[in-house]
Amino acid sequence: MPKIDNMLAILWMLSSGEKITAKQISEKLEMNIRTVYRYIDTLSISGVPIISDAGHNGGYTLLNNFIEAPLFFDFEEQTSLFHAAVFAEEAGYYGGEALNRAVSKLSKYCNKEQGKKVNQHLASLEVISRMGSLSLGPFLKELERATADGCSVKIRYYKSGEEQSKYRVVDPYRIIYWNNKWYVIGFCHLRNDIRSFRVERIESLMLTGNKFKRIEKFSAQDLFLKNLLPTMEDEEGIISLVIKGNKSALDDVCQHWFLANYLQERNSDQAVFLLEKDIIHTYVPHLLLPYNKSIQIIEPISLKKRYIEVLSELIQFHQI
């Protein structure tokens, strides 16, 4: 283990608040006791206020509250934490207040030169958020608490396509941030199945006090994407979708959250996807509309016809 890691390990042992001996440190970290003494001396010389008591009941302790200082963060680590706080704030992160307190501590324990450099790098980054003004912080905080504690929640939820919102009891398994929106994945007692819920559609939320059993090896990401992507049931009906275009447009198409899952081949001016014919005709025309003349459909010919139909429907709609 590198020297800095050993010293940090010793510091964390001392941070317990209990008196600890060199022998205990030596046994715990599996190192020579003389090495422990050298590391203790190094920490003391660097400014760590280690209190040493000699005698039968002697040992080492830390000066009260010293561990609250964010120690051993190098310049890159400090800058990364500041940048992470910017991203979190723009994403509507529910722990923003606590994160700001943590960042303030970093600023407090920086020297003048470090603070100047960090501020220079912090000013070089700006995150433009596409989120609306609706604050989801209180709901997200309660959902995170319920998820961590394994506690069911009762929510009043509005689902698109339904006239009225409904009460549901949900066992929250995970909170997800995807495509600039927050979701909660959990077992819905109303539907007797695992479902995903957009947090912005939750009208009210209450902790029930009822505990639920966690699912082992649960992957919220796999379940979430599975619900988003249509199921391809007819393998014989899978055909090639071939698109040509300029590099910039093709890069964008190939990185699209939907089409990227079906990409098979890609070169400088052409991309090939494998999908069911029905899926191609249902979803793809609407996905390609924003690219205008920067892309061209090569195969299948039936998609070209469907694309023209969609455009015709739009023209007729706007002529009314």
Residue 51's CATH number: 1.10.10.10
Last residue of a domain, one of 57, 89, 123: 123
Q: Is residue 288 part of a domain?
A: yes
Q: Is residue 130 part of a domain?
A: no
Which structural domain range is residue 255 located in? 235-319
Q: Are residues 116 and 142 in the same domain?
A: no
Q: Is residue 144 part of a domain?
A: yes
CATH classification of the domain holding 164: 2.30.30
Last residue of a domain, one of 68, 83, 113: 68
Q: Is residue 35 part of a domain?
A: yes
Q: Are residues 145 and 221 in the same domain?
A: yes
- SS3 string, the chain, reads CCHHHHHHHHHHHHCCCCCECHHHHHHHHCCCHHHHHHHHHHHHHCCCCEEEECCCCCEEEECCCHHHCCCCCCHHHHHHHHHHHHHHHHCCCCCHHHHHHHHHHHHHCCCHHHHHHHHHHHHCCCCCCCCCCCCCHHHHHHHHHHHHHCEEEEEEECCCCCCCCEEEEEEEEEEEEECCEEEEEEEECCCCEEEEEEHHHEEEEEEEEEECCCCCCCCHHHHHHHHHCCCCCCHHHEEEEEEEECHHHHHHHHCCCCHHHHEEEECCCEEEEEEEHHHHHHHHHHHHHHHHHHEEEEECHHHHHHHHHHHHHHHHHHHC
Using a cut of 0.85, tell me whether the model's pTM lies above it.
no
Q: Are residues 142 and 163 in the same domain?
A: yes
> pLDDT tens per residue, the chain (320 residues)?
567 778 888 888 887 778 889 888 898 888 898 998 888 888 887 777 888 888 777 888 887 656 555 556 677 777 888 888 888 877 778 777 787 777 777 776 666 777 777 788 878 888 777 655 457 778 888 998 899 899 999 999 988 777 788 899 999 999 988 888 889 999 999 999 998 899 889 999 999 989 998 888 888 888 887 777 776 666 778 999 999 999 999 999 999 988 998 999 999 899 999 999 888 999 999 999 999 899 999 999 999 999 999 999 999 998 87
Structural domain tally of the chain? 4
Last residue of a domain, one of 228, 262, 286: 228
